[in-house]
Amino acid sequence: MFSYRHAFHAGNHADVLKHITLLATLRHLMRKDSPLLLVDTHAGAGIYRLDGGAAQTSGEAAAGIARMQALWAHPDFDEKSASAPANKAQAAINNEADALADYLALIAGFNRDGNDDWRVYPGSPLLMHALMTEPARAPVHDRLKLFEMHPTDAQALQAHIEQLEAGRQVTMARQDGFDGLKALLPPPPAAGGSRRALVLIDPSYEIKSDYAKVAAAVQDALKRFATGVYLVWYPIIGRPEAHGLPRRLKTLAQQAGRTWLHATLNVGAAPGGAGLSASGMFVINPPHSLKGTLDAALPLVLQALGDGRGRGHAWSVEAGDAG
Ligand code: SAM
């Protein structure tokens, strides 16, 4: 327990898939002017150094977000990503469909230190916070609840949150995220009576019981709040529990009469064959636009991240109706 540190993996291909899906989903939900409860059950440390020992040792960010930065900097990028901006960041915000440019603009926003290479990578808490505090969204007053169990990462996360000076709008607990989620659902009604929530469930799967805990947490959450948007990341590895999880989540969504989306990204084996090469995102109650958004973004992601790696390159996005 607690040998996993996300600092070794921050900005890898799995984070790229996870965070593009998360941001595209959140952008869509934020088109409505009613407040959202955002929950990150496994939040990590908040922000990570790409030039620090952990990232340099693993090389995962170099094979992930650093390649995405090269794509972002490429003069043809705007054309490829189907936006035609004078200013990439502004175009990304204007065009919800362009999830890839939006994601890269956000990461670039954390790296305005004048260096050529991006030096930090924001984790899911800071990405969600960035969207909820954009000038157009800030008056809506969304709330962000974070859980992180690792003593060092929880301390780092707490320090990053304090720097945000967000008061009660962003809170964290050093508590089991599966347990913590139960007390938050259903979210309290907003002024107009609507209840809205997005929940990211992103464990490290360090222990194999995490797979069953994810399924149990989603089942319980759907009972408490069937219309919540639930996003689950999982690794695609040769373990029956990992193969079984998306099937189980699909069954849970169908039994609850909810729509779902399942996206996968396999960047091919790394030279030497070590490390994770594929992962998936399962979303319950996805925005209707999410399939088209990911269909457009993932081929470009795969082109950037799969180059020079071994066989197995593939991406997929499957969506299902309420069954
Ligand atoms: N969501 C983060 C992001 O996208 O930037 C990354 C999270 S990382 C994959 C998983 C985190 O969950 C690790 O930091 C780990 O310490 C933490 N963790 C493990 N078990 C936990 C639990 N039961 N409750 C809360 N956090 C846990």
Residue 310 has pLDDT above 90, yes or no: no
Q: Considering 78, 98, 142, 202, which one is annotated as catalytic?
A: 202
102 annotated active-site: no
The C-alpha atoms of residue 171 and residue 116 are separated, in whole angstroms, by: 33
State the Cα–Cα distance between residues 317 and 262, nearest whole angstrom. 6
Q: Where are the domains of the chain?
A: 6-320
pLDDT band at 69 (very low <50, low <70, confident <90, very high): very high
Asked if residue 108 lies in contact with residue 89, where contact means CB atoms within 8 angstroms, the answer is: yes
User: Are 259 and 286 spatial neighbours (Cβ–Cβ below 8 Å)?
Assistant: yes
Which amino acid does the sequence have at 125?
P
What does the pLDDT read at residue 193? 82
> For 126-162, how does the pLDDT look when each residue is reduced to its tens digit (9 = 90+)?
999 999 999 999 999 999 999 999 999 999 999 999 9
Query: pLDDT of 252-306, one tens digit each?
Result: 999 999 999 999 999 998 877 788 999 999 999 999 999 999 999 999 999 999 9
pLDDT of residue 76: 75
SS3 state at 121: strand
The whole-model pTM stands at 0.94
The whole-angstrom separation of Cα 101 and Cα 38 is 23
Pocket around ligand 1 at a 6 A CB cut-off: 4, 6, 18, 40, 42-44, 123-124, 147-150, 153, 176-178, 202-204
Q: For the segment 16-29, what is each residue's pLDDT rounded down to a tens digit?
A: 999 999 999 999 99
148 C-alpha vs ligand 1 centroid, how far in Å? 6
What is the rounded average pLDDT for all residues in the chain?
Answer: 91
**Domain 6-320 CATH (choose: 3.40.50.2000, 2.40.420.20, 3.40.50.10140, 3.40.50.150):** 3.40.50.150
113 versus 87: which is more confidently predicted?
A: 113
Q: What whole-number percentage of the chain has pLDDT above 90?
A: 80
Atom number in ligand 1 closest to CA 45: 14
